[in-house]
Amino acid sequence: MYSSVIVPRQWTRFTCLCRSLTSVEGQKLPQNSKSSDGISPPPRKPRGPTDLLQALAATVGTDPTAAHYKYHDDPYLIPLSNFRKRSYALSAEAGRKAAAWIRDEHSNLFTTREWDPPTKNKTPYFNADPRIEAFAPKPIYNDASKVTEQDLKYTIQNALIDDSITIFQLLGGTSGVSEELKLQLLQLLCFYNEKEPESMEWLEERWFAANTRDRQAATWRLGGLADQIFESMDPKTPEAYCAMIQGMAKYYQAERAHMLTMEVKEKGIPLSTGVYNSLIGCVGFLREGTTLRVEALRSLLAEMHEQGISPNDETLSACLRSLSAWGGGKILQQMALSIVAEFRRLDIQPGLAAYYYLLCLFCKERGPRFDILSTIINELEQKEHLEAKEPADTNFFITAMGVCSDHLQNITMAERLHALLMKGDNYKLVGDAYKESIYYRHYVTVACRHASFEKTLELLDTLVPNVYVPEPSVMEEIIKTLEVGGAGDRLAQAWSQLVVFGHSKRARLVERLLDAMVNTYPGQEEEVKSKMRAAAADMLSFGQMTPEEKEMKDIRSPVQKLSATAVCNIIEMCSDTQDKADPLWKSVEVALQRLRKEEAAGVPARPQALADVAKKAAAVGLPGIAATAVTYLAECGFEEAMAASVHVLGTMLNRPEQEVEELLSQGQSALVSSLHPAAMAVAEAYSLAKTGGPIIQESERTSSSSDSDSDSSSDDE
Amino acid sequence: MLTRLRFKRDFRLIVRCLADKPSDGDGKIPESKPKPAEPQKSSDNATERIQELLKLMMAEPKIKESEYKDKFASAPVIQRKKRSDEIEVKTEKIEESITKAAGEVAQALGGDVKQTEAELLSRVLGKINQTSTTLSDLLVGMKIDRSKEPEERQKKPETRGQQVKRLTSQTKSEAQQTRYSQRKGRSADGEQKREGRDERSRRPSPLTPTSVTTVNIFSGEPLGIFRAKESNHGTKLEVWESLQQRELTLATSQPPVNYFQKMALWTEQGKIWKFPIDNEQGLEEEQNVHFSEHIFLDSHLEGWCPKKGPIRHFMELVCVGLSKNAFYTVKEKKDHIMWYKEYFESKKDLLAEVGAWDHQSTSAEAKQS
C-alpha cells in the first residue's frame, strides 16, 4: 500500500533532477517552458568572458589600510614613500619588459621545434594549441625581413608606427601598397603624427609617466610620410581628405588644415563631424583677439550646419576647449554658456571633458569667484555611472578638486566630489599616478583648512600612507592642523611619518614640526608628553647621524642644518623631566654642544626657554648642562644670560641671589680657586654677559673650548 | 698684552654701542682710524647720514676720492677687499681710456661734440645721464656703491652676540608676541581653542560667503545655429576611430587592484582561458567538424585499400590510431592516410608480386562502387 504512494513521489523527484541536470549541463532548456509543477527556470543569459571575473572583483572592497595589490608580493618591502612606490612598481614592470625582450630577441627558441632530430630542418612550430598570441614573440621588422601586406595590416591594427613605416618602405613605398592599406596607414600616421604611441601592454609605465600636457603649438610634421602618401593617392577619397585635415588640425597646423578644407569644400567632397571637431579645436590659431575668435567659431558652427553635418558631444567639448584656451572674461564665458545651452537643446549633454573646460574657463586663479561646480556635481550625482568618452575626461576630477580647494574653499563640495569619484568604477577617471597625487593634495589641503578636526583625522587615517603620501607642502598643512587641534600624540607620530616618507631631511618641515610640538606640549597628558620627548630626542639623533655618514659616503648635496630655534625646542622638550638619570638629559647635552659649535643655523628665538632649562638643570643637579646653557646664552649676548647665570649660580652654591651677585662683583681671580669648574663657567658667563658681546677671538676661543677646561679662560682678565 | 686687552674692552664697548643701532653703516671703521664723518655719528638716523655723505661726494668728488683711497690704505686689511680695490682701479683706468676715446671720436665727427660724446659714453657705460661728460660725474653713482660695500663687508665678521642682537631685535618682539598670544589661547580652555581654529579657518577665505557667484551652466541663451534633425556624421574613418578608442582605454586603464581584476586583464590580453572554461577555445578551425569525422576514418580507405590481407589490416590499425589522436585535424588525418595510399601505390609492383596487393580485387571493387 505504501509503495504505491512512494513510487510516484520518487518519480517526480527524478524528473526534477533530470531537468535540473539538463539545464545545468546543456543549458538548452526551451525558454518558454512552463513545467507542470509551476517551476520555471530563468532563461539563459549570455555572458562575456570577463563578466564573471568582474562580478567577483566587485565583491572585493578596497582596504585603504593595506598597500596596493601590486605591492603584495613582498610584505617585508611594502613601500611607503612616493619614490619607493614608484620605483618598486617600475622595477616589477622592468622585469616583465626584460622577459619580453628575451622572448623577442630569441624568438627562434619559441617558434621552432628544438627536439626535432638534427637531420631534419627545424620546423616552425608553436608549442601551444591554440596558439596564444600574447605570449608569442613579437615580430621584429628590419631591412632583411620578408614582409607582406598582412604584416602591414597587423602593425596598423596594433598601432606600431615605426614598424608599419618600415614595412611600408619594404613593400615598395607608395607604389607597392594597395589603396585601402594606404588609407589605413595614412589614418594611423595622421593620428599619431608619425610618433610611436605608448604601448598598451605596460600599464605601470603609463601610470607613473607624468604625462606632460600636449603642447599647444604646431607640431605637425610637414612633408612627412603622411604628406607623401596623401600626394600619391590618385583618386583622393573623402576619407583621405578627412584623415589629413584631422591630423593637421590635431597637431595645430591650423592654416594648412583650413586651406585644405576650403579646397575640399570647393570640390564638393563631403566632410565629417570629426573634421569639424578638429577644426573647431584649432580655430584660435587663425585669428587674434577674443571677439574675432568667437566670431570665427560661430561661423564654423554655422558652416557645419550648412553642410548638413550634425554635431556630437565631441563638438561640444572641442568648442569649450577652444574657448578655455583663449583666456577668460565675460565674452568667452557667455559664449560658453550659450554653446552649452545650444547643445542641450540638441539633446547633447556635456561630458566630463566639457565640464573640465568650463571649470578652466570660469574658475581662474585670480578673478571673480564663480560657483559652477555645484551645478555640475548635482548633474553628475544623478547619473548612474560616469562614462569616459575622451581622454581629457581624466582631467575633470583633479581640476574640480583644485577648484574646491583653492577657488571655492568648500569642504562639503570636496566631499561630494570625492564620493562621486568613489562611486562604482568611477575611480578609473582619476587618470594616472601624477593626477591622483595632485587630486589628493588638493583634497587633503582643503580638508585641513576647512573641515572639522575629527573629520580631517579620519580622512588622513584612510588616505595616508597607502593611498596617498603627502608632499612636503601638504605635510606642513597637516602639521598646522594637528597643532591647532592640539593633538600631541599625532605630532609625535608625524615625525615617524616624516622619516618614512623621506621628508626627514627637509629642515624647514622638521622645524615646523618642532614648533608645533613645543606649542602643543604644555597641555598634554604625561604619556603623550613622553612620546613627544622621545620624538624630539630622535630628531636630534637623526640629524646627528648625517655628518658621520657624510664623512663616510661623501654626500654631495649639503645637508640642511636645523635652526637654532629648532634645536632649542628639542632642548626645551627633552629637559622636561625631574629625573637626573633620565637619558634625555644626554640629548639635551648633545643639543647644547651642537648649539655651541654653531652646527645650527641662526640663534634661538626664545632665549628665555634656554635660561629656564639652565635653571632646571641646576636644580636637578646637572651643573655641566646648566653651565653650558648659560655660557651659550652669554656668548650670544642675550640679556637673559645675566639673570640666568645669577640664578643658576645661586642654585649651585645654595645661596640667595644677592649674595651671589656680591660674590660675582669681586674679582674673578678670587673666585677661581674657590669654585667648582662648572660654577666657574657660569660665573664667567655672567661676566661675559655683563661686559657685552665678546670680541671675535674670544668667542672663537670659548666656543672651541668645552666646559671642562673652561677654567683656563681665567688668564683673559 | 695688557694694552691688547684694554683695546679689546674698548672695542667691545664700541661694538656694543654700535649694536644698539643695527643698521649703522659705519661698522668698526671709526675705531681703527678717526674719520672725518665721525662727528656726524651723533645724528640720529643712519640713512640721513649716508645721504649727507652722498651730497658731500657729489659736491666735491676729487676730495672724496682721495679721502676714499686714503681710508682704504689704512683700513684693517682684508684680503678680499684689497683685491676688489685693485679691480676698481683697473676699471677706472679702462673707463678713462674709454672716455678719452669717445671724446676723440666725437671730435672727429664734429657737430655737437659734447652731445655725441655723452651719447657714446652712455652707450658704453649704460648711463642715462646724457649731458654731462666728465668722468667723475659719470662715476659718482658707482662710488657711492663702493663706499657702502666694504663697510658692509667689514660688518660681516661681527660677533655672534651682535648677530643675535641684530637679528632678534627686528623679529623678536612681534614673533614672540604672536607665539605667546597663541600659546595663551591654546593653554586656555577648549572653547578658546575652537575659536582660534575658526578664526584660522576663516582667515584664508575672508570673502567666502559673499563674493562667490553661483552660475548655472545651463542658463545660457542658445546660439540658434543648429536644428535637430536626423544625424549625419559624414565620412567615417575606421582606423581613426579605433585609435581614439585605444587612447581612451589607455587614459582610463589602471593597474589591477585585486586578483580577479588581474585575471580579467589577462583574459582581455588573451593570456588565459576565457570564462566559462571551454577546452576547445581557440580551435576555430575544427569548430564545425563533427566528432564522427575524427573517429570513423575507414571511409578514407574505400577505393584503394585491399579488402583483406596484411595491408588492410595495417591500414585499419592506422585508422584506429588516428581516431584516438586528439591533436590532428581531420585534414591532417586524411593526409596521413593518403600518404600511405601513395606509398603503397608506388610499391605496387613489389606488393603484387608478394601477393599482398590484390590488384584485380581492388579494381573490381572500384568498378562496383
Q: Report domain extents, chain B.
A: 2-157, 284-368
Query: Which cell numbers in the block locate residue A418?
Result: 570625492
When the pLDDT of each residue in chain A is averaged and rounded to a whole number, the result is: 83
Q: Regarding predicted confidence, which is higher, B214 or B23?
A: B214
Residue B253 has pLDDT above 60, yes or no: yes
Residue A177 has pLDDT above 80, yes or no: yes
φ, ψ of residue B71 in degrees (nearest 5): -60, -40
The alpha carbon of residue A584 is apart from the nearest alpha carbon of chain B, in Å, by: 25
Percent composition of chain A: helix, strand, coil (DSSP 3-state, to 5) = 65, 0, 35
Contact between residue A358 and residue B220 where contact means Cβ atoms under 8 Å apart:
no
Residue A489 has pLDDT above 60, yes or no: yes
Question: Per-residue DSSP letters for A143-162?
Answer: TTS---HHHHHHHHHTT-HH
Q: Quick one: average pLDDT of B202-228?
A: 69
Residue A161 has pLDDT above 70, yes or no: yes
* Cβ neighbour number for residue A662 with a 10 Å cutoff: 11
Q: Quick one: average pLDDT of A188-207?
A: 89
Which letter does DSSP use for residue A654 in this model?
T
The alpha carbon of residue A203 is apart from the nearest alpha carbon of chain B, in Å, by: 6
Query: Which cell numbers in the block locate residue B342?
Result: 601513395
Mean pLDDT is lowest, of A38-42, A173-177, B94-98, B178-182, for: B178-182
- Give chain A positions within 8 Å (CB) of B207: 369
Closest residue in chain A to residue B276, using alpha carbons only = A49
Q: Please calculate the CA angle B191-B192-B194 and round it to the nearest 5 degrees.
A: 65
Residue A462 has pLDDT above 60, yes or no: yes
Closest residue in chain B to residue A181, using alpha carbons only = B239
The residues near B361 (Cβ < 8 Å, ≥ 6 apart) are B306, B307
φ, ψ of residue B324 in degrees (nearest 5): -95, -5
Residue A631 has pLDDT above 70, yes or no: yes
Residue A436 has pLDDT above 90, yes or no: yes
Closest among A344, A286, A285 to A315, alpha carbons compared: A344
| Cα–Cα dist B166/B283, whole Å | 87
| Cα–Cα dist B250/A388, whole Å | 11
pLDDT of residue A6: 46
Query: Which cell numbers in the block locate residue A374?
Result: 555645484
Facing residues of B213 across strands? A370
Q: At A717, which helix (H) or strand (E)? A: none
Closest among A302, A229, A698 to B5, alpha carbons compared: A698
Decide if A128 touches B, using CB distance below 8 A: no
- Asked if B197 and A486 come within 8 Å (Cβ–Cβ), the reply is no
State the best of B7, B13, B160, B180 to mutate against chain A, taking most chain A CBs within 10 Å: B160
pLDDT of residue A236: 87
Q: Quick one: average pLDDT of A503-512?
A: 88
- Asked if B12 and A691 come within 8 Å (Cβ–Cβ), the reply is yes
State the best of A132, A695, A713, A714 to mutate against chain B, taking most chain B CBs within 10 Å: A695
User: CA distances (Å), A601 to each of A499, A566, A594, B331, B348, in order?
Assistant: 21, 9, 10, 87, 106
* Cβ neighbour number for residue A77 with a 10 Å cutoff: 10
Mean pLDDT is lowest, of A77-91, A266-280, A380-394, B71-85, for: B71-85
> Which of A95-104, A174-183, A699-708 has the highest mean predicted lDDT (pLDDT)?
A95-104
pLDDT of residue A330: 86
| Cα–Cα dist A259/B9, whole Å | 88
Residue range B295-310, pLDDT digits in tens: 999 999 988 888 888 8
Decide if A669 touches B, using CB distance below 8 A: no
One-letter amino acid at A589 equals: E
Closest residue in chain B to residue A153, using alpha carbons only = B239
pLDDT of residue B98: 72
* Cβ neighbour number for residue A481 with a 10 Å cutoff: 25
Q: Quick one: average pLDDT of A218-225?
A: 86
Of the candidates B9, B159, B232, the beta carbon closest to that of A696 is on B159
Closest residue in chain A to residue B244, using alpha carbons only = A390
Residue A298: which pLDDT band, with cuts at 50, 70 and 90? very high
Chain A, chain B: beta-carbon pairs less than 8 Å apart? 315
Helix (H, G, I), strand (E, B) or coil at A372: coil
Q: Quick one: average pLDDT of A328-336?
A: 88
pLDDT of residue A23: 46
Residue B227 has pLDDT above 70, yes or no: yes
Contact between residue A271 and residue B235 where contact means Cβ atoms under 8 Å apart:
yes
- Give chain A positions within 8 Å (CB) of B161: 635-637, 692-694, 699
Q: Which long-range contacts link A698-701 to residues 24+ away (Cβ below 8 Å)?
A: A698/B8, A699/A635, A699/B159, A699/B160, A699/B161
Question: Per-residue DSSP letters for A408-456?
Answer: I--HHHHHHHHHHHHSTTGGGGG-SHHHHHHHHHHHHHHHHHHS-HHHH
| Cα–Cα dist A97/A105, whole Å | 12
pLDDT of residue B96: 73
| Cα–Cα dist B172/B193, whole Å | 24
- Asked if B235 and A239 come within 8 Å (Cβ–Cβ), the reply is yes
pLDDT of residue B64: 52
Q: Quick one: average pLDDT of B244-262?
A: 91
Residue B162 has pLDDT above 90, yes or no: no
Residue range A367-396, pLDDT digits in tens: 788 889 999 999 999 988 888 999 999 999
Question: Per-residue DSSP letters for A8-75?
Answer: HHHHHHHHHHHHHHHHHHT----TT---TTS--PPPP----TTHHHHHHHHHS---TTSPPGGGTT-G
Q: Regarding predicted confidence, which is higher, A98 or B133?
A: A98
State the best of A310, A352, A701 to mutate against chain B, taking most chain B CBs within 10 Å: A310
pLDDT of residue A708: 38
One-letter amino acid at A106 equals: H
User: Inter-axis angle of helices A623-636 and A584-596, to 10 degrees?
Assistant: 30
